Structure formats: structure tokens, C-alpha cells
Amino acid sequence: MLLRTHTLFNAGVLSALFYLFSPHSLFVFLAFALSWLSNTLIDRLGHEWKGEYLSRTPRTHTPTRSAFWGALSSLVIVFPLFFFGVRSAPLLLFLGLLGALSGLLHVALDSFTERGIYVKRGSVWRRWRLAGYRYDNPIANALFSGAGITLILLVLTQV
């Protein structure tokens, strides 16, 4: 999927989970920030050029590694919040867990593309996929982006 699709879908899911934690419109901003940070980090670190094609690598496109990079990206938000006086341990832990979830959502969406994600079978990385859509398929990207936007709008109308 496209980076904007990852960002919108993840922001929608994270906004809905933030709403369950505490209904405040500031959390939609945090959801967008966390979604953008984690998905950008996963894509920047997890792609490399093979000839003339950009290809995913198992560096970030496995379930466990994407969760790690997503949780690590949440530190970019957690540290400034802590520095500026937000000392709520449950909130800061929740942000870390949502970062890990954002990484997992990233590979969940990538599993719908033709190249899929990586899973380890024995000692060899194998590609695995749920469907065979191209990463830039307009219908698949529109559906997942629309789902994310719908969740965000639902949260904003409830706040």
C-alpha cells in the first residue's frame, strides 16, 4: 500500500483507540503524528533498491520487527511529552503500545499486496501474502484510506 494509505488507516485505528482511552480531540493529532512517524520509519528503513525496483526487506517488514520499529518511533512523541510535564505512566505506556500496533497495522496492509511481507520458515525468510493487489492499486488504497478517514470522522464527531 501507499504510504499515505498506511498513514490514514493507522491514524483512524489509533484515533479510535485513543478515544476509548480518553475522548479528547488532541489525541487525533497524536494518532496522526504517531501513524506518520511509524509508517515513514518502517518504509524508509525497510526498502532497498534491487536493480531498478524498490523492494521490501525483512529489516522492517516482518510482524515482530515492524512492531519494534513502531514502538521505537513512539519514543519521538513520548520523550517530549514527558519533558513537558506529562507524567501519566498509563498514557505514555499506551502510546508505546499504539506505536507497536501501528507497526503491525503496517505489515497487515502490506500483506494484501502482491509482494506481501516476510515470515521466517526455518532459517529462511519467505514472502507471505493474503491477497495479490499491487501496492498502488487505486481501489484497495481508497478502501483502506476511506476506512481510516471514516474512523477519524467518527471520533471527531464524538469528541
pLDDT tens for the chain, 159 residues: list them.
999 999 999 999 999 999 988 877 788 899 999 999 999 999 999 999 888 888 899 999 999 999 999 999 999 999 998 899 888 888 889 999 999 999 999 999 999 999 999 999 999 999 999 999 999 999 999 999 999 999 999 999 986
d(CA 91, CA 61): 27
The phi and psi torsions of 48 (rounded to 5 degrees) equal -145, 155
Q: Pseudo-torsion of CA 10, 36, 75, 65, nearest 10°?
A: 60
Residue 149: closest CA among 5, 18, 42? 5
Predicted TM-score (pTM) of this structure: 0.93
